[in-house]
Amino acid sequence: MSVQDYTSRLSDPASRKMGTFSYLPEMDDAQIRKQVEWIVKHGWNPAIEHTEPEYAMSNFWYMWKLPMFGETDVDAILAELKACHEANPDNHVRLIGYNNFSQSQGANMVVYRGTPV
């Protein structure tokens, strides 16, 4: 088994990775739907955030509207993800699932990746 080298340079924004899972390939619509279904199934509250690719490593991302407290309609959540992406086509868009019990983020995934500057 060999280790694959992913070239990532600070001087090249297009090569920057945002963490372990940023090396995975883009999710297709069916995979995104499964993630949203999982968040809803566990009773977590979805929220959507976005930011410019050059600030993806920052702790601050812009919140898209308010968290969707109590939302159980997967299609409504997917529609909001798409609306955020369409309104901010060059930004990364991520979905967060807030766990009410532990009062923390239980899930956090980048759904759409923006175009690096």
The CATH number covering residue 92 comes to: 3.30.190.10
**Domain residue limits at 88:** 41-116
5 within some domain: no
pLDDT computed for residue 9 by the predictor: 65
**Into how many domains does the chain fold?**
1
State which amino acid sits at residue 15: S
pLDDT computed for residue 91 by the predictor: 92
Alpha helices in 1-117 (DSSP H): 29-41, 74-87
pLDDT computed for residue 19 by the predictor: 61
User: What residues does 49 pair with on adjacent strands?
Assistant: 63, 94
pLDDT computed for residue 109 by the predictor: 76
pLDDT computed for residue 117 by the predictor: 55
Express each pLDDT in 47-71 by its tens digit. Answer: 999 999 888 877 889 999 999 999 9
pLDDT computed for residue 101 by the predictor: 79
- On whether the CB atoms of residues 56 and 92 are closer than 8 A, the answer is yes
- On whether the CB atoms of residues 65 and 81 are closer than 8 A, the answer is no
What sign does the dihedral 82-21-114-57 (CA atoms) show?
positive
Strand ranges inside the chain, DSSP E: 45-51, 62-64, 92-99, 104-112
Residue 90, Cβ neighbours under 10 Å: how many? 12
50 within some domain: yes
35 within some domain: no
Where the chain has pLDDT below 50, the residues are: none
pLDDT computed for residue 5 by the predictor: 59
Tell if the pTM clears 0.95, that is, is over it. Answer: no
